[in-house]
Amino acid sequence: MNMYLLYPTEQDAWNRSEEEGIAMGLAYHTEGQGSRYVSSPKETIDGLWALDVTGYDLDELEESTVTLDVTFPQPTEDLM
């Protein structure tokens, strides 16, 4: 089951993903090109941004705020 942290803004979530990328030594941070982020945030139905942090090295505060229950909007099909 995936674990998520919720953020008020998309940028906050991207920043946390990049922080983990730095800690993991992803190529962008060691070679200047390649992977930069560990996971991508997705908007929830509540307007928050959920970041899948499964496998992240979480601090105590993050561990206490992880959620497994996130609802994403249903995709809509473009009608032509």
Residues of the domain holding 14: 4-64
Rounded to whole angstroms, the Cα distance separating 37 from 13 reads 10
The total number of structural domains in the chain stands at: 1
* β strands within the chain, DSSP E: 4-7, 42-43, 49-52
Give the H or E element holding residue 6. strand 4-7
Q: Is residue 38 part of a domain?
A: yes
Question: Is residue 71 situated within a structural domain?
Answer: no
Any domain includes 72: no
Does some domain include residue 31? yes
More confident residue, 49 or 76: 49
Domain assignment present for residue 78? The answer is: no
* Residue 76 belongs to a domain: no
pLDDT tens digits, one per residue of 22-72: 999 999 999 999 999 999 999 999 999 999 999 999 999 999 999 999 999
pTM: 0.89
Domain membership flag for residue 55: yes
What is residue 53's predicted lDDT score, i.e. its pLDDT?
Answer: 98
